[in-house]
Structure 1
């Protein structure tokens, strides 16, 4: 047998990839599993977006290779979207790079800027892909703590107790996943100052800023951000287009030039129809986000009732597509997850998936119809 590459020694299969096989097996055995684990929107994209996709298929250029940088109209739509919703000026020519989902941007950024032995500041708890990609490119993970006591925000004095001379990238993600902590002016101002002080590239992963939030923020709203920061964004959550794989990375030309060197060697451009659908989504006017959030508000209210029935604590001021909840004392995250799965046929996400600071917490997704959430509430209310 050919031996695996050494880079996989410290990288595990993504938790949901493995766990969903188990859930799928239980369902195949007839178990009525309801999953509150995954953040894959079940609601439909805007009808206009579907029309734009289907009507584009007859265009003469629809089925050929496309530019690695996306068609100009897509970059213009992304730039216009940032101006409309964040009041941020982004040059569509050289400050935007469309991605096939923002997740690939994590790999592109890491490959473009990290060498073996470099270090990366990664939040604990945080999105597991930050750590796995860091390890895949041979860099070292340097976790920084986010805790309930600190409001799930970085503690710079604690971070600076480390030798930061080898740190090149710091991953941040606000509104935060999994905790739902809001982005604030103070957060971004301090991050930019920290990055300049230590010569670190800040990457703000920003896919949740429109979910249950009427004040979306971008790190580029703050002075000096383009000198030291990149921002990832996505249509997956904002427009229910997760499977379309449309994202973007924004930042100064000096950074995107390097990213394009990686990206242009890894794909052959985004499908034309997907780009046309994305253009339509980004240009929507009216009450799309208001309508979307009304649906999520109803679901979140049911999630809160489920958590109350489980004697959990939670923050009603959180944002994003999930609810983060503190378990009662005496039960671990994975114990609660297994108890719910095997006794109540409900799949939740243990907080430990996101790091050691997730112990004692669970995460529940809002991507579940109200009828299913009512069924979960009924199941957990039965002693």
Structure 2
């Protein structure tokens, strides 16, 4: 055996992969752990979604390999969804590429654009996969800060003072994970202009746009954005389908075609039943999102109460599936996380896993029934 690839040494095992082993071991030992750390929706998909999967699976002709681009009906449903929800017009034959989840899309996009030594702008704090995939490909992460008092606006003035000649990609994410910064059309307009000036491709990771937001926004609704941006989206959060692994990439047809070259060498298409379920989800009416918003609003109010009992501070204008809290003076985030886990059997996420700007923060997930959040509140004396 002549050794492992050098890229393996550039990343660690994903935090939740390792931490959940410990949490599950505690549960196996009889400890009543309440998991407020993971952003995996606990609610079920709509019945019509499950029925579409079931009826397709019962068809003996439905189990073969599928198109690398997804069936035409799925691509059309994605395009219609973008038209209805974001006022964005897409050609379903050329500007839509179904994905097996957003995380797959992050890898495919990075493989399509990056060579070793290329630089990638990544939000700090931000989704750890942006950094790990960049490192795996031998590219260089360059972190940028966000102004949480201005809806998560990137500090573009700092970036303008840096050498951006090697930067190829910029990851953005609104509503932002983990902070919940909602972003705005004005911020996206600034980013489009920034990208055009420096010849940077913007990749907008947009899975939270229907979770506790006033208006869902796509970067592709911004004038001239199609020249510089692609967008990832997902059914995981908005439609309670995280385990189904259904995502989508939309935008410039020539860039989509290049991503397809990578994707077609890495998977053999999505099971037809999952595609049919995704179509049913994408065609759900406005009541679906209204019910989702109502549920998460109620849960968030309870998480705010829990945070108050722990003397944590948070932004009530934040959006998305999480509550991002600053720890009080005199305590570290690790202390708060460990005390809750080992003394109260409540698991929350330390902000440091999202970058150095998260060192003084913790993150609560809203993916837990209200009675469980109430139980967590009652455990805090």
CA distance in 2, matches of 1:189, 1:287: 30
Aligned residue pairs, count: 381
Structure 2 residue 107 is the aligned partner of structure 1 residue 111: no
Shift of 1:149: 5.2
2:174 maps to which residue? 174
Output one character per residue of 1:151-187: Cα deviation in whole Å (capped at 9) or x when no partner. Answer: 5320111012221000000000000000111121111
CA distance in 2, matches of 1:160, 1:359: 26
1:379 maps to which residue? 379
Listed as ranges, the matches of 1:18-33 within 5 Å are 18-33=18-33
* Secondary structure of 2:154's aligned partner: coil
Shift of 1:339: 1.1
Query: Is the CA contact (8 Å cut-off) linking 2:349 and 2:364 kept in structure 1?
Result: yes
Shift of 1:345: 0.6
Output one character per residue of 1:199-225: Cα deviation in whole Å (capped at 9) or x when no partner. Answer: 000000000000112300000111111
Shift of 1:8: 1.5
Structure 2 residue 196 is the aligned partner of structure 1 residue 196: yes
1:132 maps to which residue? 132
Gaps in structure 1 of 5+ consecutive residues: none
1:285 maps to which residue? 285
CA distance in 1, matches of 2:62, 2:2: 41
* Secondary structure of 1:302's aligned partner: helix
Query: Is the CA contact (8 Å cut-off) linking 1:171 and 1:203 kept in structure 2?
Result: yes
CA distance in 2, matches of 1:57, 1:124: 43
The change in CA–CA distance for 1:283 and 1:155 in structure 2 (over 3 A counts) is same
CA distance in 2, matches of 1:59, 1:25: 40
Output one character per residue of 1:104-155: Cα deviation in whole Å (capped at 9) or x when no partner. Answer: 0000000000000000000000000000000111101111112445553201
Shift of 1:330: 1.2
Listed as ranges, the matches of 1:211-250 within 5 Å are 211-250=211-250
- Report the TM-score, using the length of structure 1 for normalisation: 0.98
Query: Is the CA contact (8 Å cut-off) linking 2:152 and 2:183 kept in structure 1?
Result: no
2:337 maps to which residue? 337
Gaps in structure 2 of 5+ consecutive residues: none
* Secondary structure of 2:197's aligned partner: helix
Name the stretch that deviates more: 52-61 or 199-208.
Answer: 52-61
Listed as ranges, the matches of 1:59-74 within 5 Å are 59-74=59-74
Please provide the CA RMSD for this pair.
1.1
CA distance in 2, matches of 1:338, 1:118: 38
Query: Is the CA contact (8 Å cut-off) linking 1:183 and 1:217 kept in structure 2?
Result: no
CA distance in 2, matches of 1:201, 1:284: 32
Shift of 1:102: 1.1
CA distance in 2, matches of 1:91, 1:63: 28
1:303 maps to which residue? 303
Query: Is the CA contact (8 Å cut-off) linking 2:333 and 2:350 kept in structure 1?
Result: yes
Query: Is the CA contact (8 Å cut-off) linking 2:153 and 2:183 kept in structure 1?
Result: no
1:45 maps to which residue? 45
CA distance in 2, matches of 1:149, 1:226: 28
CA distance in 2, matches of 1:47, 1:29: 35
Query: Is the CA contact (8 Å cut-off) linking 1:147 and 1:357 kept in structure 2?
Result: no
CA distance in 2, matches of 1:360, 1:251: 37
CA distance in 1, matches of 2:49, 2:180: 28
1:318 maps to which residue? 318
CA distance in 2, matches of 1:77, 1:297: 28
CA distance in 2, matches of 1:318, 1:156: 21
CA distance in 2, matches of 1:117, 1:193: 25
1:36 maps to which residue? 36
